[in-house]
Amino acid sequence: MFTTVTNEFSWGVIDWLAGAEVGNSSELSVAKMSLSAGCETDTHLHDNCEEAVYVISGAIDCVVDGSIHQLVAGDHTVMPRGVRHQLRNSGSTPAELVLSYSSATRNFALADNGDLGSIQA
């Protein structure tokens, strides 16, 4: 039996496949993300884990500490712990991504206000 936890946002959807909120991992998190065309995530950081992004389809701009990295299907990158980052889809089709984190519970802070809290589904 496969369990997922879905979070819907104005910019797209995250389906959590593994992690604390799914109840199947105490050490990592894995998710499939759909980033809608013309949308972007909030600029944020995770103080307790690294985040890896793998592009399944589409193209995104991954903004890491102010530097823009263009990623297309088959590309990946890793955001170090505590580094500000944002994902942007300026294309005309949704971008499908796999996200992986080095913690089952990800601390999340919006980069603009530094308010740190634990992400839960």
Confidence of residue 1 (pLDDT cuts 50, 70, 90): low
Task: List the beta strands (DSSP E) in the chain.
Answer: 5-9, 12-18, 29-35, 44-45, 51-57, 59-64, 67-72, 76-79, 85-88, 95-101, 107-110, 116-118
Our CA dihedral for 92, 112, 105, 86, rounded to 10 degrees, sits at: 20
Please tell us whether the domain made up of 5-106 is placed in CATH 3.40.50.300.
no
pTM of the model: 0.89
**Mean pLDDT of all residues in 38-53:** 97
pLDDT in tens, 63-81: 999 899 999 999 999 999 9
pLDDT in tens, 87-117: 999 999 999 999 999 999 999 999 875 444 4
Boundaries of every domain in the chain: 5-106
